[in-house]
Amino acid sequence: MKEWLRETHGPVFELFRHFLLRFFDSDVITATEHTPTALVGAVAVLMQWMFIYIQPLKLKYEHFSKLPVAGPYRAAVRADELWLITLVMAAIGLLTAIKWQSLFPGLRDYRALASLPIRPWQMFASKLLALLAVSAAAAIIVNALPSLTFPALCAGRWAIQPALGGRVFAHFAASAAASLFFLFGLVALEGVLLNLLRPRLFGRVTGSLQGVLVAAMLMLLVLSFSIQPRIADAAIQPRLARWLPPVWFLGLYQRLSGDPDPAMGILAHRALMALAAAIALTLAAYAMSYGRHRALLVEGIAPGGKNRRWAAAALDWLVPEPRQQAVVSFIVKTLANSGQHRTILMAYGGFGLAILVTAMLTVPKLYQPARVPAACFVYAHVILLVFLLIGLRHLFSLPTELAANWTFRITERDGRRHWMRAVDRLVLFAGATAMLAIPFPAEVRLLGWRALPEAVLFALFGLLCYEWAFSSWEKLPFTCSYLPGRTPAWILALKFLGLLAVLPAVSGILIACLYNWLAFLAVLAVLLVAWNRARDVRKETWGEIRLKYEESPEPTIQGLGLIQ
């Protein structure tokens, strides 16, 4: 087999092999050989989440199986089936949205393969085959563990399908069909836009749509864990079920399990028709697009050429110092022109919003009715602030046009302090506008005079969080190489769990301060002193530490630093 793979087997097969091996490459990842390590770590962490639910699910179904009636057992099974189907759909949808630019041949593919005697249909056929191979592998990997564990855990005397093999088949078939529907649906959506929109409009629309899809899939992924029997019962009602694709595949699951309910049969038929339509649209989009796609990509990269005098005037007013103005302009233009960077920032915002929605479900249970509006604003501010700061730090680490960073290297000595100060001014001004100024009128309307102390308290908390997030920052945004997977995925998962545990406590302290003046003044003083100290420590390093432009992997053996 190895000898056969070393040989050449025609243009379609070789292109298929090329696209398959490079499917997860990205322009923002400097060393692509580190990508598989990061992906394996992420999949391993996601798989470990399933083991957390094994014992609770086992105990739950043992209890329901002992009841004299089947209703509670089957309601719980249906809710968990909907949860798992929604989970895998969101996971596959997230992967598809992240690789949105890889669903069709890219501009880099055309540039690399332009000198070879390859026809457009061969390139598109190979890309489609690679997409199908990756789709099948992703569907198997994502659905394998739930398909083997959940049918065994939910076994009981009230099960509609008594045979374990039948339940495993029903689970895998319905979940795989659901995940493939989302995948091919998103591919078909891009193909339809590709054929309907003009080149420049296509680039702008798909760039923004990718960010929206990533944020939406992250929200769906997190919110799927909130599905309970009462939510599942409401979702399968005909008025809602027709608009909810996960419910369609729940009907397919139930039908394959032997549920005689006619409503499940209707939903199962809708699921199969939707999957067939998504696959047909994807094939049609590939068939219709190969003749137009190359011209669209080449034309779509041309600049718009619009007059931005008002933007230049605003920049002169906000940042009069030329070196700071240059860095601010560089950062803003990078975000405006790079769809990948905008997508990553929107992903963090969507993930934070999903955590916020989940937290909001418990706020009315934790506070008195009079304090609920204030608690909602505090929770929203704290959660979104933390996630956006983490996302911004990650975003600034991802390079753009890395080969051009020599411009900053040769002028770093004279401009380092100005550059770091410019980054601070841009981030703090944008943050103050988005997090404080825009929602403040709504706060005043709902909270009254308490909106002012809440804004002051949150402003100091936000400044302290900013200093914490950028305390060890040694880069100019978008100018340093990036290596994924430098920190093991399980460590990142532990940090994330610790963060989720700390945020409610911090929010509770801030809420209590709004109704106790002594606590308010004490916390305000502590935040002010801590921020001032952290700010001074970070500013002292601006003129001493050289900026980093090349990220290197962690050494296998850590030295003691005895030789200087």
Is 265 found in the same domain as 117? yes
Is 279 found in the same domain as 421? no
Q: What is the reported pTM?
A: 0.78
Give the span between the Cα atoms of 208 and 212, in whole angstroms: 6
Q: Alpha carbon of 491 to those of 10, 52, 188, 486: distances in Å? A: 44, 17, 37, 11
106 and 297 in contact (C-beta within 8 Å)? Answer: yes
Is 347 found in the same domain as 204? no
Q: How many domains does the chain have?
A: 2
Is 385 found in the same domain as 260? no
Q: Which residue carries 């198997």 as its tokens?
A: 140
Is 378 found in the same domain as 240? no
**What's the confidence (pLDDT) of residue 563?**
43
**What's the confidence (pLDDT) of residue 564?**
41
**What's the confidence (pLDDT) of residue 47?**
61
Is 246 found in the same domain as 193? yes
- Asked whether residue 234 is assigned to any structural domain, the reply reads yes
- Asked whether residue 358 is assigned to any structural domain, the reply reads yes
Per-residue pLDDT of the chain (564 residues; tens, 9 = 90+): 556 555 566 777 778 777 777 666 665 555 555 555 555 555 655 666 666 778 888 888 888 888 888 889 999 999 999 999 999 999 888 888 887 777 777 666 666 666 677 776 677 778 778 878 888 888 888 888 888 889 988 888 888 888 889 999 999 999 999 999 998 998 888 888 877 877 667 777 877 788 888 888 888 988 888 898 999 999 998 888 888 999 999 999 999 998 888 989 999 999 999 999 999 988 887 777 665 555 555 555 444 445 556 666 777 777 788 888 888 888 888 888 777 788 888 888 888 888 888 888 888 888 888 889 999 999 999 999 999 999 899 889 888 877 778 888 888 877 788 888 889 988 998 888 988 999 999 999 988 899 999 999 999 999 999 999 888 888 889 888 887 666 666 577 677 778 888 888 999 999 999 999 999 999 999 999 999 999 988 888 776 678 888 877 655 544 444 444
Q: Which residue carries 């719980």 as its tokens?
A: 76
Is 335 found in the same domain as 295? no
39 and 489 in contact (C-beta within 8 Å)? Answer: no
- Asked whether residue 4 is assigned to any structural domain, the reply reads no
* Alpha helix positions (H), 99-163: 107-113, 120-153
Give the span between the Cα atoms of 61 and 76, in whole angstroms: 8
- Structure tokens given for 52: 């957390």
Which among 357, 379, 356 is positioned nearest to 367, based on CA atoms? 379
What lies within 8 Å, CB to CB, of 429 at 6+ separation is 318
What lies within 8 Å, CB to CB, of 215 at 6+ separation is 346, 347, 349, 350, 351, 353
**What's the confidence (pLDDT) of residue 115?**
65
- Asked whether residue 387 is assigned to any structural domain, the reply reads yes
**What's the confidence (pLDDT) of residue 292?**
59
- Structure tokens given for 460: 């100091």
Last residue of a domain, one of 300, 320, 342: 300
Give the span between the Cα atoms of 105 and 446, in whole angstroms: 51
Last residue of a domain, one of 279, 300, 321: 300
Q: What is the DSSP letter of 101?
A: G
Is 353 found in the same domain as 284? no
- Asked whether residue 317 is assigned to any structural domain, the reply reads no
- Asked whether residue 374 is assigned to any structural domain, the reply reads yes
Give the span between the Cα atoms of 261 and 265, in whole angstroms: 7
- Asked whether residue 226 is assigned to any structural domain, the reply reads yes
Last residue of a domain, one of 255, 282, 300: 300
551 and 30 in contact (C-beta within 8 Å)? Answer: yes
Is 462 found in the same domain as 509? yes
What lies within 8 Å, CB to CB, of 244 at 6+ separation is 235
**What's the confidence (pLDDT) of residue 490?**
59
- Asked whether residue 43 is assigned to any structural domain, the reply reads no
Is 475 found in the same domain as 354? yes
Is 336 found in the same domain as 250? no
Domain that residue 272 falls in: 55-300
Of how many residues is the chain composed? 564
**What's the confidence (pLDDT) of residue 252?**
94
Is 474 found in the same domain as 533? yes
